Amino acid sequence: MAGRGVEAPAAAVSTDFTHALKDSALAGLIAFGLFLPLIGFHAVQDIRNELVLETRWPLLFAFVILAMAGRLFGSLVVTPWRERRAARPRAVAAARPGATLARLFAPAATGFVIVYPLLVLWLAGLGGAVKWVDNFGIQILIYVMLGFGLNIVVGLAGLLDLGYVAFYAVGAYSYALLSQTFGLSFFMLLPLAGILAAFWGIMLGFPVLRLRGDYLAIVTLAFGEIMRLVLINWVPVTNGYAGISGVPRPTFFGIPFNATDEGFAAVFGLEFSPIYRTIFLYYIILALALLTAFVTIRLRRLPVGRAWEALREDEIACRSLGINTTSTKLTAFSIGAGFGGFAGAFFAARQGFISPESFTFMESATILAIVVLGGMGSQLGVAIAAIAMIGGTEALRELDVLKEVFGNGFDPTQYRMLVFGFAMVLIMVVRPRGLISTRQASVHLAERKAIAGTLVKEGRG
Amino acid sequence: MEVFVQQLINGVTLGSIYGLIAIGYTMVFGIIGMVNFAHGDVFMVSAFIALITFLLVTTWLGISSVVAALLIVLVVAMVLTSLVNWTIERLAYRPLRGSFRLAPLISAIGMSIFLMNFVQVAQGPRNKSIPPLLQGDFVLMSHEGYQVTLSYRQLLIWGVTAAMLAVFWYVVSRTSLGRAQRACEQDQKMAALLGVDVDRTISITFVIGAALAAVAGTMYLMYYGVVNFADGFTPGVKAFTAAVLGGIGSLPGAVIGGLLIGLIETMWSAYFSIDYKDVAAFSILAITLIFLPQGLLGRPDVEKV
């Protein structure tokens, strides 16, 4: 197989090359047309507050060259490689050599995240550790937890939920309002917030779960937006745009984290530092995320979990086999919503302040991107995707080199959603089963059958 | 009464814009059964292209005639937006034919996020405003100091929308291109067997949808005089609501749905609460999908195994 390219006559190679060059020139022309208005020109406000145009020819030129080079690379390298690979007979899937390593990876990773705050404390000291535990630990774990929750809905049951953030908001506002009004503690309200969110999941899910997949996605999007608009406009309860501030922070089983004599540091005879609260919060969200993962793993083995996966693969077959699709979907939707509610309550307790700004569609999209990137249905994939995407942008923010290159106003979070969107498209085109991990049904026939490529693409292989 | 007439005028104007966007949704859904989630953002991109072309034409080329400037802007926006949507279809949707059920929708969501953030990064997050064009209006009714007016801009929007719909209707119902399109909508395999180039027809569908969205984008920019990178989301969802309300897949349905959504939105703002106008539109979407999924003019969905 390796000699195919060499054996081809020289004339064919040269026409291939001119063809590729032509293609590349065409791609350059299209790229020029595409990027001319938005990259070639920049509409900025001048001193009189009027819009004027600035030109950015070098940038436009760079984009065009990039498109041409990409196209050339595609037709000269990628396409022949693909053809060679397609021509090669598929090896029958044997036991993968990395299987044991993969089995050990999850417990090792869990062990690492458990000792992570202590490790950071040891390395960075009391003062420096807050940033590492908060920005890199808690922030990522919130998204891991949300990703696990949405994974039940999208990854296991195959219901595309674009309004997941609505349940996150229900949890956050439930905790904020109930704790301020009734003075209940975090650990009492945490389950309550989850139950309320799950209840909302049932209420919203019941009428819409009969709908076909893409309609369901749009309706959940509408619900998410309605929820946000109500939060903005129902000022007497939610305080509108201004949000709710002074949300009570969780205490260490009744001992608050403050500098007073009853505070955590004083009671345990330690020097006061905000790090203790941060570490405590870290372990709460870690416990919640692990709980979600554990429940999901167990649920997958139960009849309901298997029904979810069957539903994802083929709804009509499920109905023919007598599975009640509405109630099966409803359980997935409400359990996912419940975990979203837990995460929301934690978010409110951690921030101490919530406003509708935190619950926009972009938040739903971020969580969805994490689930899609991780490989729908895979727990480990979701966790790695969250670390790469959320932690990655946080890490970029730390790099001073980038500030020197791109100027002082460089903010990697600005590019985060750009990369997310692009990655979602790329994954769907290149590896629809996820970049990091492939989902696998919990039960499948032991004997692998050779089936058509289209069926494998649809997820039936 | 006066308020009602004024809101009727405003509603029809807004509805025209929604209707033009809704056609893009309904055509794509009709032909490949996919919700083109990025269409609202294509509309926003077209408004930005129109903005930049407008600045180019007025400040660099020094064309002072508003009508000539608008005509150039309209044509440039239509051509470039079509190119954008054609490229999107080629890169993000075409490779997904035959992939699993939700793949095209997820890809479209990714594309929507990408476009929105691309414009934000390329042009900045602030509102972009242009000086008001075509000021002046006709006073239609006057009662105790309340004037019902029809502005030149609104009249222009009505005129352009009507003209575009006429051209579009002609293309779809009278040309071989439109015939190929309707054939693909009914049965792609059969159409391919009879010599219709299915891929090309689908590409052209995206191009037509984008051209109409560009008309809407140009009109939107002219009407409101301001555009923002996030402006594609809400009009996009509302236009999708219009398409669903009219019966997705049905072209007259999209226009009627657009007008209805425009009217409902303006009437709701006038008589109920302006804060909840988007809630009203989103609720209509949910209610229609739950209780009347085939819409006003659509065919009921037949499930095939």
Give the pLDDT confidence of A65-83 residue by residue, as tens digits.
898 888 888 888 888 888 8
Whether residue A111 sits in one domain with residue A81: no
What are the structure tokens assigned to B1, written together?
């009464």
CA distance B85 to chain A (A): 10
How far apart are the C-alpha atoms of A154 and A332, rounded to whole Å?
9
In A421-460, the residues whose Cβ lies within 8 Å of chain B are 421-425, 428-429, 432, 454, 457-459
Same domain, A236 and A170: yes
Q: Which residues of B39-57 are buried (b: 16+ CB within 10 A; e: fewer)?
A: bbbbbbbbbbbbbbbbbbb
Q: Complex ipTM above 0.90?
A: no
- In this model, does residue A8 exceed pLDDT 50? no
How distant is the Cα of A30 from the closest Cα of chain B, in angstroms? 8
Query: Are A34 and B80 in contact (CB < 8 Å)?
Result: yes
- Residues A37-58: tens digit of each pLDDT: 888 888 887 777 777 888 888 8
- Pair (A248, A110) in one structural domain: yes
Query: Would you state the pLDDT for residue A100?
Result: 63
Would you say residue A98 lies in a domain?
no
Instruction: Please identify, among A86, A114, A134, the residue that sits at the C-terminal boundary of a domain.
Output: A86
Q: Say yes or no to pLDDT of A5 above 70.
A: no
For B96-149, what is each residue's pLDDT tens digit? 887 777 788 889 989 999 999 999 888 888 888 887 777 777 877 777 777 788
Predicted confidence band of residue A410 (pLDDT cuts 50, 70, 90): low
Average pLDDT score over chain B: 87
Give the H/E segment covering residue A459: none
- Which residue, of A86, A120, A153, is where some domain finishes? A86
- The answer to the question of residue A56 being in a domain is yes
Contacts of A214 in chain B (CB under 8 A): 34-35, 102, 105
- Which tops the pLDDT comparison, A374 or A92? A374
pLDDT for residue A403 is more than 60: yes
State percent of chain B over pLDDT 70: 98
Looking at the fold, whether A331 and A360 belong to one and the same domain comes out as yes
Q: Report the alpha-carbon distance of residue B214 to residue B77 in Å, rounded.
A: 6
- Number of Cβ within 10 Å of residue A49's Cβ equals 7
- What is the greatest pairwise CA distance in chain A? 87
Flag whether A1 is in a domain. Answer: no
Q: Do the domain assignments include residue A99?
A: no
- pLDDT tens digits for range B214-269: 999 999 998 888 888 888 888 998 999 899 888 888 888 899 999 999 999 999 88
Query: How far is Cα B94 from Cα A348, in angstroms, rounded to an integer?
Result: 42
Greater model confidence, A364 or A49: A364
B10-25 pLDDT per residue, tens: 899 999 999 999 998 9
Q: Which residues of B touch A318 (CB under 8 A)?
A: none
Quickly state the pLDDT bin for B206 (edges 50, 70, 90): very high
Cα(A233)–Cα(B282) distance, integer angstroms: 15
pLDDT of residue B131: 79
Give the model's confidence band at A344: pLDDT under 50 very low, under 70 low, under 90 confident, else very high: very high
Domain ranges of chain B: 2-231
- Of B117, B126, B275, Cβ closest to residue A421: B117
* A168: nearest Cα among A350, A338, A374: A338
> What is the rounded radius of gyration, in angstroms, for the C-alpha atoms of chain A?
26
pLDDT at A175: 92
- Rounded Cα distance between B98 and B117, Å, is 29
Q: What does the pLDDT read at residue A401?
A: 66
Note whether residue A5 is domain-resident.
no
pLDDT of residue A426: 87
User: pLDDT tens digit string along A241-253?
Assistant: 888 888 888 877 7
Q: Determine the pLDDT at residue A402.
A: 64
N-terminal to C-terminal alpha carbon distance within chain B: 53
Cross-strand bridge partners of residue B129: B226
* Residue A294 lies inside a defined structural domain of this protein: yes
Q: What is the DSSP string of A151-165?
A: IIIIIIT----S-TH
In angstroms, the Cα distances linking A259 to A253, A276, A365 are 17, 11, 39
Contact A299, A305 (CB under 8 A): yes
Chain A CB contacts of B119 under 8 Å are: 38
Mean pLDDT for the stretch of residues B200-204? 91
Q: Which tokens go with B140?
A: 């239609």
Q: In terms of pLDDT, which residue wins out, B167 or A211?
A: B167
Of B110, B123, B233, the CB nearest to A421: B110
The total of structural domains in chain A comes to: 2
pTM for the whole thing? 0.85
Q: Which residues in chain A are closer than 8 Å to B122, comparing Cβ atoms?
A: 38-39, 42
Of A61-65, A207-211, A216-220, A264-268, which range is least confident? A264-268
Same domain, A318 and A410: yes
For B49, residues 6+ apart whose C-beta sits below 8 A from its C-beta are A37, A38, B76, B77, B80, B81, B214, B217
pLDDT at A99: 57
Within a domain: A97: no
- Would residue A184 count as lying in a domain? yes
Lowest mean pLDDT among A66-70, A171-175, A266-270: A266-270
Mean pLDDT of A378-384: 85
B33 to chain A: nearest residue by CA? Answer: A214
Check if A229 contacts B (Cβ < 8 Å).
yes
Q: What is the pLDDT of residue A6?
A: 43
Q: What average pLDDT does the segment B185-191 reach?
A: 85
Instruction: Give residue B126's pLDDT.
Output: 83
- By CA distance, what is B52's nearest residue in A? A37
Please compute the mean of the pLDDT values over residues A59-66 and round it to a whole number.
88
pLDDT at A103 over 80: no
Average pLDDT in the A251-269 region?
Answer: 74
Give pLDDT tens digits for A179-198. Answer: 888 888 888 889 999 999 99
| Vertex B8 angle, CA B5 and B13, to 5° | 135
pLDDT at site A89: 64
Same domain for A156 and A35, yes or no, is no
- Return d(Cα A293, Cα A308) in angstroms, integer: 16
Same domain, A78 and A117: no
* pLDDT recorded at residue B215: 93
- Sort strands A353-354 and B128-129 into parallel, antiparallel or unpaired: unpaired
Which residue type sits at B36?
N
- Given a cut of 90, whether residue B49 has pLDDT beyond it is yes
pLDDT at A438 over 70: no
Phi, psi of A72 (to 5 degrees): -60, -45
- Are the beta carbons of B109 and A365 separated by less than 8 Å? yes
Q: Are residues A81 and A143 in the same domain?
A: no
**What per-residue confidence (pLDDT) applies to A2?**
41
Decide: helix, strand or coil at residue A351. helix
Mean pLDDT of A427-445: 66
pLDDT given at position A170: 93
Asked whether the beta carbons of residue B80 and residue A432 sit closer than 8 angstroms, the reply is no
* A359 shares its domain with A388: yes
Give the domain extent around A329: 106-457
Of A37, A232, A432, the CB nearest to B52: A37
Instruction: Give yes or no: residues A138 and A240 share one domain.
Output: yes
* Closest Cβ–Cβ partner in A43, A218, A454 for B128: A43
Average pLDDT of chain A is 80
CB A52 within 8 A of CB A40: no
